[in-house]
Amino acid sequence: MESDLVQAVAEYAESVMGAEGFRYISAVVATCKMLALEVERASNTEALVIAAYLHNISTIEFGFQDHHVKSAEMAVAFLREHQAQDELIASVEKILLAHAMSLPADERESQPLEARVLYDADKLGRLSGLSVVTSLIEFGARYPNRPMNSEVLCAILRHIEEKFVELFQSLNTEPARAMAREKFGNTLAFLDGVIEHLSDSTPI
């Protein structure tokens, strides 16, 4: 059973993120808990869960640019208002400030393990066919007047595929990589199939 503080954090995150945003946050929290059970030395589970709930807290108002910094500031303010212990606040802040960093394999040990777990949990949600659709919708919203044909769509999908490969390779922990392998393989197969079909098809 979660502490009163964690419950208050979850309610705060839901009030800020809204129902749709909170669904994603809840999935990240659940993945963090699963990974923490598998990863050695993930001792500060309470700080990890709180950080997972709050890692995108600033994005609604301020967007994703440097969101880890602003979310850390907002998290610290909230936790201080709720008289959280200084050690817990410092741990949550450290996790949030580091959770968005993708580091070379030989430098990953320099980051708190909980930050690496949160990074992995956050990224695992993006290794799916649904995220391909989301990426296409975002492209359409960003460039509403750009003509779309098979060649352009193939180029977009190849770019998404490259990003997925980078994302998979950036995962920090073996449990996260194990969880991602099947999902990642299915998504790449889906992308390759669509690209092959478009390459042989009549322009849209």
CATH number, domain at 80?
A: 1.10.3210.10
The residue count for the chain: 204
Are residue 36 and residue 18 in the same domain, yes or no?
A: yes
What mean pLDDT do residues 177-190 have? Answer: 78
- Reported as a single tens digit per residue, the pLDDT across 86-106 is 999 999 999 999 988 887 778
Please indicate, yes or no, whether residues 10 and 105 belong to a single structural domain of this protein.
yes
Pair 83, 133 in one domain: no
Judge if 114 and 55 occupy the same domain. yes
Residue 204 clears pLDDT 60, i.e. is over it: no
In a domain, 204, yes or no: no
42 pLDDT more than 60: no
Structural domain count, the chain: 2
32 belongs to a structural domain: yes
Same-domain pairing of 44 and 77: yes
pLDDT of residue 203: 47
Residue 57, CA distances (Å) to 8, 62, 126, 133, 159 in order: 14, 9, 18, 24, 28
Mean of all residue pLDDT scores within the chain: 85
Rounded to whole angstroms, how far apart are CA atoms 15 and 157? 35
Residue 113 lies in domain: 4-124
Distances from the Cα of 44 to the Cα of 33, 114, 171, angstroms: 11, 7, 20
Beta strands, E only, 1-137: none
Q: Which of 68, 95, 124 marks a domain boundary?
A: 124
Distance, CA of 156 to CA of 6 (rounded, Å)? 40
Domain boundary pick from 63, 89, 124:
124
pLDDT computed for residue 181 by the predictor: 82
Choosing from 124, 158, 180, the residue where a domain stops is 124
| Torsion sign across C-alpha atoms 145, 146, 150, 152 | negative
User: Based on the domain organization, do 56 and 157 belong to the same domain?
Assistant: no
